[in-house]
Amino acid sequence: MTSDKRLLEALTTINSIFNDKGLELDQKLQHILREIVKCVQAKSGSIMLMKGLKSLEVIASTNVELIGVKQPLDEESPSAWVIKYRAPLYLDNIAKSDIFEERFDHYEGGAFFLVPIMVNKKVIGVLTVTDKLDQEVFSKEERKILLNIAGQVISSLENQSLEKKGRTLRQKNLQLR
């Protein structure tokens, strides 16, 4: 399957997940993460969102034991690096990286790709994809796909947030009448 076709299928699926009124946001993100991991042919991934100014919380993960785990941003970690520099981070092999001295136990493979989730130039989270299936590294095409999907997730998160704020305002207006 061509990368364009994989991207189109993933974006179509992600759109339908976000439009599913029967799912809560955390469920939507979990389903979307599974689609992303499948699209770039990886084993593992996570979506982390900012909690205050000093930590990230795992909201969705292929490893359900990581959901709810908070990571302080003062640590030397790939996620903290992405937040600090507001840029994607790709490494073919974390074990050979001089950026991070510590290798985290939940990474099985060497290659991983982290993308900041940004709204209005502000980082609100990090999308992580690791442990490439059947290969050692993520191709440039797969990294491009992930960046495109991250953009879709970002706009969907923003729309979800605006929709929630709209419902809250409508409820308050009704209460004031």
Predicted local confidence at residue 45, as pLDDT: 92
Predicted local confidence at residue 55, as pLDDT: 92
The mean pLDDT values, 10 residues at a time, for the chain of 177 residues are 74 83 86 88 89 90 93 83 90 69 56 84 87 79 79 65 69 75
DSSP string, 51-113: ETTTEEEEEEESSGGGTT-EEETTS--HHHHHHHHTS-EEES-GGG-SS-SSPPTT--SS-EE
Which domains are assigned to the chain? 3-172 (3.30.450.40)
Predicted local confidence at residue 57, as pLDDT: 93
- Enter the pTM of the model: 0.79
Predicted local confidence at residue 110, as pLDDT: 66
